[in-house]
A and B are shown apart, each in its own frame.
Chain A
């Protein structure tokens, strides 16, 4: 029993040490940042720097990853100027006509733009460029509830307080859906005795993601106990790791998922 505990502890230390580099890598303002360069350089442009936080503060995951169709992995969508021009992907919103929060959204860039308009391309095609942004991270987070890791923002709390109101519908793109039935949260047992059980907020995840972001691609089974999730797989980017540690809060925030208190003096690990 003691050996097992010591082994578990050593494992956690090793894993944490291995992750330390990743932990320190991204600044809060850069956490979740995606660099997309499938075709940019061939077109003589810098790769696109996409600040995920700007969009997640305004839209649900489902709006972009289901309705608009952005893939969950960087570069996997294969966005081109032509697709944007046709009103898909970035062009679904960035068409120079739609507005958000009373502000007109700039049009995605396109080939053959006149010189005076080509500066518009730099707004997104900005890797290694000094580009003035319309948004500023420090000002944005000022009034939002904080957390230690990731973007440093407690997004769930921010929404609960009404500080952000992610939009879930885009005219002409989203289909009209009935209202979502509240999903029940559930617990996920853990093998180790030193960490609390996971209480999974199915409700919160369903509101942001709908069903089809997660099922069946990320979570192919819903039968309780059928799939054994391991932290190694999650660190490797599977299951929860598809979002957590990339754009959603990082896995080092153990207590955000392992919520159930550990029963002190409990018996053997399950």
Chain B
């Protein structure tokens, strides 16, 4: 029984100490992981600025909506990240909106 307890303690300790074991927990590493989440979404959305002319209007509307959602997440970051990424996000959103508007005017 004692051996089982020791084994359990060792297992729990290993989970906390392991660099991969605590990703899902509320820890600094976990926070970084959550932050990377917005960055991944940012990269996917803003990579679409490469050729917005070939994106369908529905997808452009969806991208604008994704930019709005991302904005809320970026606004919670520290001052510098917020400043840098909000500007970059605005450029992406403005371009999508611009292409949409240009199409509607045609």
Contacts and interface: CB of A to CB of B under 8 A. Distances in A.
A175 B48 CA distance: 10
B98 A176 contact: no
**A interface residue count range (under 10 / 10 to 19 / 20 to 34 / 35 or more):** 20 to 34
A211 interface: yes
Interface of B: 42-44, 46-47, 49-54, 80-81, 83-84, 87-88, 91-92, 94-95, 97-98, 102, 105-106
Given A69-B84, A181-B53, A175 B95 contact: no
Given A211-B52, A216-B94, A216-B98, 8 more contacts: A69-B88, A86-B80, A175-B46, A178-B51, A211-B95, A212-B95, A215-B95, A223-B105
B98 A215 contact: yes
B105 A216 contact: no
Contacts of B51: 178, 180-181, 211
Contacts of B80: 82-83, 86, 88
A38 B7 CA distance: 60
A32 B40 CA distance: 35
Interface of A: 66-67, 69, 82-83, 86, 88-89, 175-181, 210-212, 215-217, 220-223
Closest 10 CB pairs of A and B: A216-B98, A175-B43, A177-B50, A175-B47, A212-B91, A212-B95, A181-B51, A177-B47, A69-B84, A83-B80
Contact of A180 (B42, B50, B102): B50
